[in-house]
Amino acid sequence: MESVFDGKIYIYPSHDREAGIPENDNGDHFDMCDYHVFSLDDVEAGEVTDHGVILSVDDIAWAGRQLWDSDVAEKNGKYYLYFSLKDKNDVFRLGVAISDTPYGKFIPQENPIKGSYSIDPCVLNDGNGEYYIYFGGIWGGQLQRYRDNKAQENGGTFPAGNEPALCPKVARLRDDMLEFAEMPRDLVILDEQGKPLTQGDAERRFFEASWMHKYNGKYYFSYSTGDTHLICYAIGDNPYGPFTYKGVILTPVVGWTMHHSIVEYRGKWYLFHHDSVPSGGKTWLRSMKVVELLVSEEE
């Protein structure tokens, strides 16, 4: 994911590799073992600097395998890397690592965030001293295993197609940025009639890849529909929602997954994402992309 620190854009992507694992719906082939951070100061023509490895599976005491998506937030001169990782029982948790600089190296906490689960953390600095974390992803992201923040004994099931869709989660972070300050709650996405999107509404319902940004006092939640390969967005009046579905930001690219972030830099908005063109369509070998995002004053 991307953030602006000290006048530069810092990019914190997953680091794909050829692990020799067959592709499957659980995402076992996305077997990332570390993170790099990249920076640039000119989106149009600037050089990209690779600052090297900032965190590795081998650094994390509770690690099992698969470092999936991450995000970084700054508070009081410290930088907090929030990451997804399977523990030793092959269950995804969220962890935190800390650095004095945006380019690391990041030192992980000894344990995952208490009560955390699933994948794809994104942190919003609300500008008033409060920080909120958004997370969740179905299928390989394991969100379907949980109801009311508790793992289900049967391993989890999906709602019926006409029932409300599984929701991404949101929680305010504690002042020290290391734990939830409250139990995670559902972030509900509504249709134009004010009803929650259904699980069968595959071109609009949430799958993974939470991102939150603010514009003109409104909260913009964007996300991936996963198996229908769209990046969509919804608008709300506060960090918790509810959010009303508004439309599609990005149509399908080459490669199965769709993941993104949105940042403002030097008066322009940019959409960072990835595709698999350089790898010939191999979904587990993705490359970073960026495009300017045009913002309508109506929404």
Domain-wise residue ranges, the chain: 2-293
Tens-binned pLDDT, residue by residue, of the chain (299 aa): 768 999 999 999 999 999 999 999 999 999 999 999 999 999 988 899 999 999 999 999 999 999 999 999 999 999 999 999 999 999 999 999 999 999 999 999 999 999 999 999 999 999 999 999 999 999 999 999 999 999 998 888 999 999 999 999 999 999 999 999 999 999 999 999 999 999 999 999 999 999 999 999 999 999 999 999 999 999 999 999 999 999 999 999 999 888 999 999 999 999 999 999 999 999 999 999 999 999 876 55
Q: Go through the chain and tell me how many residues it has.
A: 299
The DSSP bridge partners found for residue 232 are 223, 248
CA distance 39 to 163: 43
CA distance 77 to 193: 44
Residue position matching structure tokens 């709650």? 185
Q: Which CATH class is domain 2-293?
A: mainly beta
Q: What is the pTM of this model?
A: 0.97
Tell me the two tokens of residue 68.
């999936």
